[in-house]
A and B are shown apart, each in its own frame.
Chain A
């Protein structure tokens, strides 16, 4: 760490991504790259900018510390080991929802103002809330995935200017979720949709950003993709295609709330349980059960928890009588024996 500072001050945009901001700082000051700047600033190869780094960051980049507090993507670590990520004015509690290394852009937004929006680092934000187009995560010219540490925010390593890219159309589901996310800070964004009723949309709009992401993740991934993946898959940050599927699953369960969720849980309860140790309920709904207990305990998510737990109780009651699951178990054993 030395006493040098940068010469040129770059003013951050509100809700700009911290790595995008540092990329602009590096370019303006002719620094060889984002990683070199992070190395100079933080002393080692850092994958995140902590809130405790902000005074040093502000000093080196000639910003006021309070200016940098408007940036997105800053991480906070607590002594109990929990981690939080700032996105716009909200805090995200799960690393799965932040994919700052999987860069995404909206060409039209870059055309309006060449800076990286903090929302683009959200895994479940796959469409532009302002332009209605899908976000782009690979270069239209060289077809390589966008690099988070590219030299210019608007330019690929191959030299292609992203502002010249055509914007692909987005699905209605991802467009709705993107608008719900953006609505948290820009209430002028319309939430009108044919996918959900007004009541369902308003319920989602009232959630915090973290609560909204957890709801979509729980319904779309934990329940929607139950049994599709092995253990540990929930830790993988979804790319755009994966996120689209999760969003589609989640919207399907939210639609006609809570009927479809109840139907889905009933269907899940009729499936053969996993052949692992644990209670029957854990073997049936393991990842969803675990996620609910760990992450969906806040008051704002009571509407999801209540439906899920009531239905679980109803399923449990059916287990008191001779249950078809037992027949299924036996049938499975029989099938395997024949195999």
Chain B
């Protein structure tokens, strides 16, 4: 509530951004976070803490969960030490081993251009040394399908896992840190086929789009009370809920984008809450259609 109060005093742009980053403790979110917290706790006492696969289509909240974990365990810097409980990596394409190691080194706070190494084994030893010093406990791998699935490989055995898969297993074995992977459903095939990966990181959660049911209304009600608007908008009422479901198809990212735009428009106008007209204009800005579930956007 304090964060909401602070956001309410911000600009329309601030209020819109706040809406995009609202955390709603739906079952899957709560369950995943609880599992990750336990993993990180376990990393403190064992060299084989395990890991978690967060699978789901785009927009179901995988990256959102990883961002929330990173925010909870953000690095702290003192005059004499850097503490870096979790290290976050995200991939736009298939990375090389050295890319992964250098990214980790940068997150640990050291300039990679100053260090001396002759090969990846040297670099890995330097990173492992730094991980111990910085008290690191878990790796977060976003877009992990780029890590394990190589559609360009000629041999079938290289298409799943491959060199990167072996490297990540080695990194896990030698660092003793928990691994949390978030990726598309394509990873399910890799997990099923690779027993080494499945046995190392046994936790799996599949995030789904919301169905148009009571849970979705409950989510809307929670979002409504969290929105940085002075008054409630009644998002969970029949008038809004059905239309919001049609507009978002139960996709959490689309829903938040739509609401964030609507909050920007409403707060720019000085409105107390969101109306169908705000949502219609927001729908046009998000999806470029004038005919919207909320009416015609003008």
Interfacial residues, chain A to chain B (CB-CB below 8 A)? 2, 4-9, 29-33, 36-37, 40, 58-59, 62-64
From the candidates B77, B108, B115, B133, name the one contacting A31 in the complex (CB within 8 A).
Answer: B115
B203 close to chain A: CB less than 8 A: no
Nearest B residue to A31, CB-CB: B114
Q: A6-B110, A7-B109, A30-B126 are in contact. Are A62 and B79 (CB under 8 A)?
A: yes
Cβ B133 vs Cβ A7 within 8 A: yes
Per CB-CB distance, the 5 closest pairs between chain A and chain B, nearest first, are A4-B111, A32-B116, A7-B130, A30-B115, A30-B126
In whole angstroms, how far apart are the Cα atoms of A6 and B130 in the complex?
A: 10
Residues of A within 8 A of B81 (CB): 9, 62
In whole angstroms, how far apart are the Cα atoms of A4 and B126 in the complex?
A: 16
Residues of A within 8 A of B117 (CB): 30
Cβ B110 vs Cβ A40 within 8 A: no
19 cross-chain CB contacts under 8 A: A2-B111, A4-B110, A7-B82, A7-B108, A7-B129, A7-B133, A8-B133, A9-B80, A9-B81, A29-B115, A30-B115, A31-B115, A32-B115, A40-B111, A59-B79, A62-B79, A62-B81, A62-B82, A63-B79
Most buried by A among B77, B79, B134: B79
Digit string of B133-175 for contact with A (CB within 8 Å is 1, else 0)?
A: 1100000000000000000000000000000000000000000
Digit string of B62-106 for contact with A (CB within 8 Å is 1, else 0)?
A: 000000000000000101111000000000000000000000000
Q: How many residues of B contact A (CB 8 A)?
A: 18
13 new A-B contacts at CB < 8 Å, known A2-B111, A9-B80, A30-B126: A5-B77, A5-B110, A7-B82, A7-B110, A8-B133, A9-B81, A29-B110, A30-B115, A30-B116, A31-B114, A37-B114, A40-B114, A64-B79
In whole angstroms, how far apart are the Cα atoms of A7 and B78 in the complex?
A: 11
Q: How far is the CB of B115 from chain A (nearest CB, A)?
A: 5
Q: A30-B116, A32-B115, A40-B111 are in contact. Are A5 and B82 (CB under 8 A)?
A: yes
Residues of A within 8 A of B115 (CB): 29-32
Q: How far is the CB of A38 from chain B (nearest CB, A)?
A: 11
Residues of B within 8 A of A6 (CB): 109-110
Q: How far is the CB of A60 from chain B (nearest CB, A)?
A: 10
Q: How far is the CB of B123 from chain A (nearest CB, A)?
A: 9
Q: How far is the CB of A304 from chain B (nearest CB, A)?
A: 46
Residues of A within 8 A of B130 (CB): 7-8
Q: A30-B126, A62-B79 are in contact. Are A4 and B116 (CB under 8 A)?
A: no
Cβ A31 vs Cβ B116 within 8 A: yes
Cβ A7 vs Cβ B134 within 8 A: yes
In whole angstroms, how far apart are the Cα atoms of A122 and B111 in the complex?
A: 34
Q: How far is the CB of B160 from chain A (nearest CB, A)?
A: 34
Residues of B within 8 A of A32 (CB): 114-116
